[in-house]
Amino acid sequence: MIYLDYAAHTPVDNSVLENFFDVSKEYIANPNSSHKLGHKAALKMEESTKEIGELLGVKENEIIYTSGATESNNLGIKGIAGAYKRYGKHIITTYLEHSSVTGAITYLKNQGYEVDFVNILENGQVDLDHLKELIREDTILVSICYVDSEIGLRQPIEQIGELLKDYSHCYFHVDGTQAVGKIPITLDNIDLLTFAPHKFFGMNGSGVLIKKENILLEPIIHGGISTTPFRSGTPVLPMTVAAKKALSMAFLKLDDNLHYVEKLNKKLRTELEKYPNVRINSTKYSIPHILNISFIGISSSTFVKFLEENDIFVSTKSACCAPNTPSRPVYALTKNRKLSLESLRISLSHKTTYEEIDTFLKVFDQCMKLAI
pLDDT of residue 318: 53
When pLDDT is averaged across residues 308-315 and rounded to a whole number, the result is 96
When pLDDT is averaged across residues 317-331 and rounded to a whole number, the result is 73
Judged by DSSP in three states, 78 sits in helix
pLDDT at position 321 over 70: no
pLDDT at position 249 over 70: yes
CB 240 within 8 A of CB 45: yes
2-9+253-371 against 14-252: fold identical: no
pLDDT of residue 274: 96
pLDDT of residue 322: 58
Please tell me the distance from the alpha carbon of residue 143 to that of residue 161, in angstroms, as a whole number. 11
Of residues 262, 317, 290, 328, the one with CA closest to residue 152: 290
CA Rg, the chain, in Å? 21
When pLDDT is averaged across residues 200-220 and rounded to a whole number, the result is 97
pLDDT at position 243 over 80: yes
Could you report the per-residue pLDDT of 34-89, keeping only the tens digit for each? 999 999 999 999 999 999 999 999 999 999 999 999 999 999 999 999 999 999 99
Cα 220 to its chain centre, rounded Å, is 21
Whether the model pTM is above 0.85: yes
pLDDT at position 32 over 60: yes
pLDDT of residue 225: 76
pLDDT of residue 323: 60
Contacts 24+ apart (CB under 8 A), 84-89: 84/140, 84/141, 84/169, 84/171, 84/216, 85/140, 87/138, 87/140, 87/169, 88/136, 88/137, 88/138, 88/139, 88/140, 88/169, 89/113, 89/114, 89/138, 89/140
Considering the four listed CATH numbers 3.20.20.70, 3.40.309.10, 3.40.50.2000, 3.90.1150.10, the one that applies to the domain covering 2-9+253-371 is 3.90.1150.10
pLDDT band with cut points at 50, 70 and 90 for residue 370: confident
Please tell me the distance from the alpha carbon of residue 10 to that of residue 291, in angstroms, as a whole number. 16
Q: Quick one: CATH architecture of 14-252?
A: 3-Layer(aba) Sandwich (3.40)
In the chain, what are the domain boundaries? Answer: 2-9+253-371, 14-252
Contacts with 345 (C-beta within 8 Å, 6 or more apart), sequence order: 5, 7, 150, 290, 291, 292, 314, 315, 316, 317, 318
Catalytic site positions = 320
Per DSSP, helices labelled H in 143-236 are: 157-164
pLDDT of residue 74: 98
Average model confidence (pLDDT) for the chain?
95
Could you report the per-residue pLDDT of 147-169, keeping only the tens digit for each? 999 999 999 999 999 999 999 89
Please tell me the distance from the alpha carbon of residue 125 to that of residue 102, in angstroms, as a whole number. 18
CB 289 within 8 A of CB 182: yes
